[in-house]
Chains A and B, each alone.
Chain A
C-alpha cells in the first residue's frame, strides 16, 4: 500500500486535512458537522462525474462531453416528467440508459475508428449541449411530489449536519467506483490498458470492448450526475454545468491519478472533488476574497500535483534501476 503509486493520493489526503484543519482552527462555524455534510451535498454532482472520468483517465483517455451530458440529461428528465407526465423513477431509468448508450457510441467510435478520444468527446460535447437546447431553451422547474420527497430525505449526523439523498447517492457511486476499479476484471483491464496498451493486448485484454465499456461507464456516471444535479437544483437548464468537465479532470488529477494512465485511485478522486469544495468553502468563510480565487487556487493545486507526480515518477525511475514501473 505504501508505494510510489499511492504517494500522490497520500499527498492529496494531506492537502485535504491541511485545508480542512485550517478552516477548523480559523473559523468557529467550520467545526460544525454541517460544513462537512454540505460539502458532500454541494459537490455530489462533481464527484459522481469525476468517478466516471477517473476510469477514462486511468485508461489514458479523456472525456470532454460530461458537462454537456449533465445538462442534456437534466433537460431530458425534466421534459419526461413534466412534459410527458412520466413517473420520476421511469424518467431516471430512461435518462441513465440514454446517457450510457451515448457514452457507448462515443466509445465505439474511439475504439473502432481509432480517432482520438479528445476529438470524439469534443464533438459529443457540442452534440449534447445542442440536444439540450433542442429539447428546451429555458430553465424549467421539475415539479413532482416524488422529487421533492427525495430532496427532503435527511439523515441527521451528530452536530447540525445531515446526509441528503444526493450525498448518499454520491457516496454509493464512489463505493461502486472503488469496487469496480479494484475488484473486477474490467477494472484490472482499465489499469492494464492505461499502463501499456501493447502489453495489455498481448496479455489478452480485449482492448476495443474495454474502451467501449469505459466510455459507457463515463456516460453512466455523468448521466447519474445529471439526475443528481436535477434533484439538487430542482430544475433543469440547458446551460447548466458548463465547464464541469474541467473541474472533473482537475478533481481526478488532484486526486493523484496520472494523466498518462495506469496509476490512480477512485478514492483519490473523491478527495480531489472535496478539496475543490473545501477551497470554495474557505473562500466563502473568509468573506474578503472573491470567488474567482477558487479558479486560481484550483489551477495552482493542479500545477502542484502535476509537479509532484513528475517528481515521484522521476524518483521511481531513478531508484528502480530504469524499470520504469510508473
Chain B
C-alpha cells in the first residue's frame, strides 16, 4: 500500500486497530468468541450477536454523526425511540392497519420529533444540547401517554421478523441497518449534501454567504436523526414484542455519542465520519458482549466503557497532540544538528 493511502486513511488507523485489538483480546479470553455456526440455515455466534445487538445503536449513531456534523447534538434519541416504539405497538394492537402503514406512522412520529428539535435549533437559535433536552425530559412522558402508562405487548408476524428474523442466514435487522448506513454514506459522499452539512458545522456564517440554505439543512439533519431513532425504536419494540416507555432506548443516546467520539468525530462539528462511527459502534458493542461472555460480572461493563472512553479522549486531546508534536519536533531538530 502506498503512502497516499495511509495519509488519506490516517484517521481510521486508531479506531480500526482498537477494534481488532478488542476482538483478538476477547477471543483469547473467551474461547469460541470467533466461532460462527450454521444452525437451520441461520448463522449463530458471538460476532453475529455483536451485529444483532448493535443495530439499534448503529442506527442512532448514524443520525447522531450527521447531527454532530452540523455542530449539534441530539440528546432526545432515547425518548424518540420510546415514542416511536409506543406508536408502533399501540397502532398494531388497536387498529387493523396494514403493517407498512403502522411502520410509516412510527417513522413519521420520529421525523416529527426531529422537526421539533430542528425548529428549535435552526429557527429559534436554541443551543442543541438544550433544545434536545426538552424532548429528552418530556419525551418519555409523551411515550407513556401513548401507551397509557403500560407496557403494550403485541403480536405481528412482520414485526417479529424485523426483530428476530433471518434473511440469507443473517438477521433481518442487520440487513436493514446495512442498507440504511450504505444509503446514507452514498448520500453524504456522492452528493453535495454531505459537503453542505459539513460546511454548516465548520462555519455556519460563511456557508450562508456562499448560498447554503443552512436552516433547512439543519432541520433535515435533526429529522434524519429522528428517522434513524424511530427505526431503532421499531426494532427494539419488535425485539421484545412490546413497547416499554420507561426503558426502551434508555442511555442509547450516550452510546451513540460515544461511538461518534471514539471514531474521532469532533463534537465541534464540521466533520462526518460515518464509516468510522460504525467502527465506534462495533467497539462499544464488542466490549459489551465481551464483558458479558467473559463471565465478568455485568457491573464492570460501565467501568470498562468509561475507562476506555477517557483513554481515547486523553489520547485524542489537543494537549496530548501538542505534547507529542513538540516531542517529535525536538527529536527532529536534534537529528538535523
Bound-complex Cα distance A303 to B299 (A): 36
A126 touches B129 (CB 8 A): no
List 4 additional contacts besides A123-B306, A130-B306, A292-B140; criterion CB under 8 Å. A109-B310, A133-B299, A299-B134, A302-B133
B-side residues, CB < 8 A to A, are 73, 124-127, 129-131, 133-142, 144-145, 149, 245, 254, 257-258, 261, 267, 299-307, 309-310, 313-314, 317-320
Bound-complex Cα distance A300 to B116 (A): 13
* Chain A residues closer than 8 Å to B254, beta-carbon distance: 122, 125-126
Closest to A124 in B: B306
B31 to chain A, nearest CB (A): 26
B215 to chain A, nearest CB (A): 16
Interface centre among B135, B144, B302, B313 (most CB of A within 10 A): B302
B126 to chain A, nearest CB (A): 6
Bound-complex Cα distance A310 to B123 (A): 12
* Chain B residues closer than 8 Å to A294, beta-carbon distance: 141
Chain A's interface size range is 35 or more
A130 touches B137 (CB 8 A): no
A172 to chain B, nearest CB (A): 28
Bound-complex Cα distance A250 to B257 (A): 21
B126 touches A306 (CB 8 A): yes
A–B complex contacts, Cβ < 8 Å, 8 sampled: A119-B313, A126-B306, A129-B302, A259-B130, A290-B149, A293-B145, A299-B139, A310-B124
A-side residues, CB < 8 A to B, are 62, 109, 112-116, 118-120, 122-127, 129-131, 133-134, 137, 246-247, 249-250, 253, 259-260, 290, 292-296, 298-300, 302-303, 306-307, 310
* Chain A residues closer than 8 Å to B140, beta-carbon distance: 292, 295
Interface centre among A125, A250, A303 (most CB of B within 10 A): A303
Bound-complex Cα distance A293 to B149 (A): 11
B262 to chain A, nearest CB (A): 10
* Chain B residues closer than 8 Å to A131, beta-carbon distance: 303
Bound-complex Cα distance A130 to B129 (A): 25
A119 touches B299 (CB 8 A): no
A247 to chain B, nearest CB (A): 8
A109-B314, A119-B257, A296-B142 as given contacts; A126 in contact with B309, CB under 8 Å: yes
A115 touches B317 (CB 8 A): yes
* Chain A residues closer than 8 Å to B149, beta-carbon distance: 290, 292
* Chain B residues closer than 8 Å to A114, beta-carbon distance: 317-319
A260 touches B137 (CB 8 A): no
B134 touches A118 (CB 8 A): no
A122 touches B303 (CB 8 A): no
* Chain A residues closer than 8 Å to B307, beta-carbon distance: 127
Bound-complex Cα distance A249 to B127 (A): 14
Residue in A118, A120, A302 whose beta carbon sits within 8 Å of that of B137 in the complex:
A302
B313 touches A112 (CB 8 A): no
A-B pairs, top 3 by smallest CB distance, nearest first, are: A299-B138, A295-B141, A130-B302
A113-B320, A126-B302, A292-B149 as given contacts; A300 in contact with B138, CB under 8 Å: yes
* Chain A residues closer than 8 Å to B314, beta-carbon distance: 109, 113, 115
* Chain A residues closer than 8 Å to B145, beta-carbon distance: 290, 292-293, 296
